[in-house]
Structure 1
Amino acid sequence: MPGSRASQRLDLQRVWQLRAAVRGRRSARERLARLRRRGPNIVQCALAAGAAWAIAHLVLGHATPFFAPVAAVVALGQSYEGRLRRTGEVVVGVALGIAVGDLLASWLGTGVWQLAVVVGLSMALAVLLDAGQLLVTQAGVQASIVTSLAAPASAGLDRWVDALVGGAVALVVAALLPTAPLLRPRRLAAAATGEVALLLAEAAAAAKHADGERAQAALDRARAGQRAFEDLAPAAQEALEGLRLSPFRHRHRPGLEVVRDLAVPLDRAMRNVRVLLRRVAVAEQRDEPLPPELWTLLEELATGARLLSEAVDAGRRDDDLLDDLVDLGRRAGVLGSRRLGLSAAVCVGQLRSTVVDLLQVGGMSTEQALAAVPPVD
């Protein structure tokens, strides 16, 4: 018995170690994926910071232009959205904080209570000007620097010029937007469509073999795999925002707008597939047979979604594929017109709804897709 308990403890230890290793590998992959997503922006921030310091120090002769790189990094931020606004708020906030700080410091002197008064008044003035949070913060930061360092009067103008240099460099760097962030939305859309294809294939296999556990496992995967769907619209919007500052990339705008609009039908497709998987699992639990025609249609739809994913990734419209999907929706309608059990009828309905969603992903308008797959009589 003691030996048996020791063996059990060792087995439990191995299980815990294995689980910890799996979690560690998953965490490492997620961290690397985040680094890949933000890598281009990090490079932009690094280059802008170095360039801003060099211009302010070497060209303008400022001894310690610390705010030039700070302004550049803050203006670029972690995303492309709102860069013009952020740059303006940084520059105006610096100017406001320096002006109030210099004025009050020359009148009140420096000290603890003077610092509190100057920072409070600077931020209050920014709020009264209906400024954004970044501008209010920069006003307070600059006022505190002016008061605590008691810099010479000329330093105030130098700091404002440094902020202007940093903001200008940020906008120039943003104008040289690399292609990678522009390609990311399309890749996310293709990955989301590919995920729908995989889940449809799992639904087909689960329905064919009356495997409720397989359907439930696929449903769990669908719930956990929402990242590509959730990231698509923000990624497309960020890229579109970046194009406002990049005159060299305007040709990408129409394609990005199309990809941005795919977020809605893709989200609907995923929701429909989740309902379908849930119903396949319920059918097995209740011993409700699913017709063989349903398996075939699901397999064909999975293949169509996979081909559609490739078309989305390539940025092309495949009219032949759309015709195949329309025909699949028609055949599903014929199946739905038969007398079916509740689970089978629900599965057919979700399949047809998914066809409508995928037709929109393929390039049809909502009206065209609905007309192509009319309701079952």
Structure 2
Amino acid sequence: MDAQQSLDRALQRGRTSVRARLARLRTNGWHIAQCSAAAGVAWFLAADVLGHPMPFFAPVAAVLCLGTSYGQRLRRVVEVTVGVAVGVFIADLFVLLFGSGAWQLAFVVAASMSVAFLLDAGRLFVTQAAVQSIVVTALVAEPGAAFIRWTDALVGGAVAIVAATVVPRAPLRRPREQAAVVVRKIAALLRGASEVMVDGDVDRALSLLADARTTDVLIRELQDASDEGLSVVASSPFRLRHRGGIRRMAEIVEPLDLALRNTRVLVRRAAVAAHRREPVPRGYSILCADLADAADLVAKELSSNRMAVHAQPALLEVARGSSQVERGTDLSGEVILAQVRSIVADLLRITGMGVIESSDAIPPAPR
């Protein structure tokens, strides 16, 4: 039986791994296409337009410069472009004057990195300057073709800068999609806690608590998606009209973080109550289930690329219910009720309410 369960878990992990890899490929499909197209364009410009016989550095520079995430992408593309150009230029000049060899390579690397640091460059800039100087020094150019490689590097960098301003819609959708993932997780945890309050299953409660404690990564991914979206609208002139929507999504990261934290506290208290056999009022379980349904509505709105205004009535209904429910006497139950009310306030902020407005929307708790 144990062997069968282990095999089933292994197969499930395998299927999950394949799905995750395919999802990663789909997510990066645009970046792959962008780099390959930029490499081809850079080669075409250097070879067919400028007539360079072997423009190796044009596609290399283009791919190197585009090999960054969307976050701060345009700045990094420019940084790497200049770094590549500096390294190639210094190496070409030195090899032209002193030839190629071990001491020449060491000197060129030191000179390229020193110039990069003098230009107040970032570490990426300095590294690219060093790497390109090594390649140029090791691969001696044909007579009369030394500075052609520097020109090729500039061509590749210029193509990369233009390509970096053309971004897909995916980074603009990701903040809403990731926010919906977070809210759906909140709903699932609330629904699980509601069931634990009814059946008191300790093993199930501990499993739910372990699941809740792994959710920090969801907020980090949401923050990364928000930062990426802001960077895209800042760097691409073609996406400026999306700036307002992306900024609004960035503003809901904090309330979502608070809602998830409060949900973890609620799940922990539900697990404690199950472990200690403390009775939890039936009304608290119903409130958690209703709040889970309201959270699903919020997630649905976010997935549909809308602010979750239409989920407000459901959240306000849960808020009213929390002020009318019959109170318990144990500490765990009181913590659960307090967390339900806090989560409602956090989710109301996602529907467009301010901090004070969302707090005022929750009636006083019953005495």
TM-score (norm 2): 0.91
Closer, same or farther: CA 239–70 of 1 in aligned 2, 3 Å: farther
C-alpha contact (below 8 Å) 2:65/2:80 kept by paired residues: yes
Closer, same or farther: CA 56–245 of 1 in aligned 2, 3 Å: farther
Alpha-carbon distance, 1:63 to partner: 1.7
> Aligned equivalents of 1:281 and 1:148: distance in 2?
64
Whether 1:24 and 2:22 are equivalent positions in the alignment is: no
SS of 2:147's equivalent in the other structure is helix
- Corresponding position of 1:298: 288
C-alpha contact (below 8 Å) 1:41/1:78 kept by paired residues: no
- Corresponding position of 1:5: none
The total of aligned residue pairs comes to 366
What letter is aligned with 1:94?
V
> Aligned equivalents of 1:248 and 1:150: distance in 2?
42
- Corresponding position of 2:337: 348
Alpha-carbon distance, 1:94 to partner: 2.8
Alpha-carbon distance, 1:241 to partner: 1.4
What letter is aligned with 2:191?
A
Alpha-carbon distance, 1:305 to partner: 0.4
> Aligned equivalents of 1:371 and 1:57: distance in 2?
67
What letter is aligned with 1:210?
G
Cα distance per residue 1:26-62 (max 9 Å; x no partner):
2222222222222222221122112211221111111
Cα distance per residue 1:114-146 (max 9 Å; x no partner):
211121222122223321122212221232233
Alpha-carbon distance, 1:226 to partner: 4.3
> Aligned equivalents of 2:9 and 2:157: distance in 1?
47
- Corresponding position of 1:284: 274
> Aligned equivalents of 1:319 and 1:117: distance in 2?
63
Whether 1:56 and 2:24 are equivalent positions in the alignment is: no
Q: How does 1:332-347 map to 2 (within 5 A)?
A: 332-335=322-325, 338=327, 340-347=329-336
SS of 2:28's equivalent in the other structure is helix
Closer, same or farther: CA 350–156 of 1 in aligned 2, 3 Å: farther
SS of 1:110's equivalent in the other structure is coil
Whether 1:160 and 2:150 are equivalent positions in the alignment is: yes
C-alpha contact (below 8 Å) 1:171/1:245 kept by paired residues: no
C-alpha contact (below 8 Å) 1:98/1:156 kept by paired residues: no
C-alpha contact (below 8 Å) 1:312/1:362 kept by paired residues: no
Report which stretch shifted further, 257-266 or 284-293: 257-266
Alpha-carbon distance, 1:152 to partner: 5.0
Unpaired stretches in structure 2, ≥5 consecutive residues: none
Cα distance per residue 1:223-269 (max 9 Å; x no partner):
33444332111112212212234322222221111122222211211
C-alpha contact (below 8 Å) 1:335/1:348 kept by paired residues: no
Alpha-carbon distance, 1:309 to partner: 0.7
C-alpha contact (below 8 Å) 1:102/1:153 kept by paired residues: no
Q: How does 1:137-286 map to 2 (within 5 A)?
A: 137-152=127-142, 155-286=145-276
Alpha-carbon distance, 1:319 to partner: 4.2
SS of 2:213's equivalent in the other structure is helix
> Aligned equivalents of 1:375 and 1:230: distance in 2?
33
Unpaired stretches in structure 1, ≥5 consecutive residues: 1-10
Closer, same or farther: CA 114–320 of 1 in aligned 2, 3 Å: closer
Closer, same or farther: CA 103–66 of 1 in aligned 2, 3 Å: closer
C-alpha contact (below 8 Å) 2:209/2:271 kept by paired residues: no
Partner residue of 2:350 out of 339, 361, 364: 361
Q: How does 1:34-49 map to 2 (within 5 A)?
A: 34-49=24-39
C-alpha contact (below 8 Å) 2:74/2:161 kept by paired residues: yes
What letter is aligned with 1:340?
T
C-alpha contact (below 8 Å) 1:65/1:159 kept by paired residues: yes
Closer, same or farther: CA 239–163 of 1 in aligned 2, 3 Å: farther
What letter is aligned with 2:339?
Q
Alpha-carbon distance, 1:172 to partner: 2.7
What letter is aligned with 1:92?
V
C-alpha contact (below 8 Å) 1:240/1:253 kept by paired residues: yes
SS of 1:193's equivalent in the other structure is helix
C-alpha contact (below 8 Å) 1:311/1:317 kept by paired residues: yes
> Aligned equivalents of 1:274 and 1:99: distance in 2?
56
Partner residue of 1:370 out of 356, 359, 364: 359
Alpha-carbon distance, 1:334 to partner: 4.3
Closer, same or farther: CA 27–316 of 1 in aligned 2, 3 Å: closer
- Corresponding position of 2:122: 132
RMSD of aligned Cα (Å): 2.4
> Aligned equivalents of 2:175 and 2:121: distance in 1?
32
> Aligned equivalents of 1:320 and 1:138: distance in 2?
50
Closer, same or farther: CA 160–366 of 1 in aligned 2, 3 Å: farther
- Corresponding position of 2:314: 324
Closer, same or farther: CA 202–136 of 1 in aligned 2, 3 Å: same
Whether 1:118 and 2:104 are equivalent positions in the alignment is: no
- Corresponding position of 1:6: none
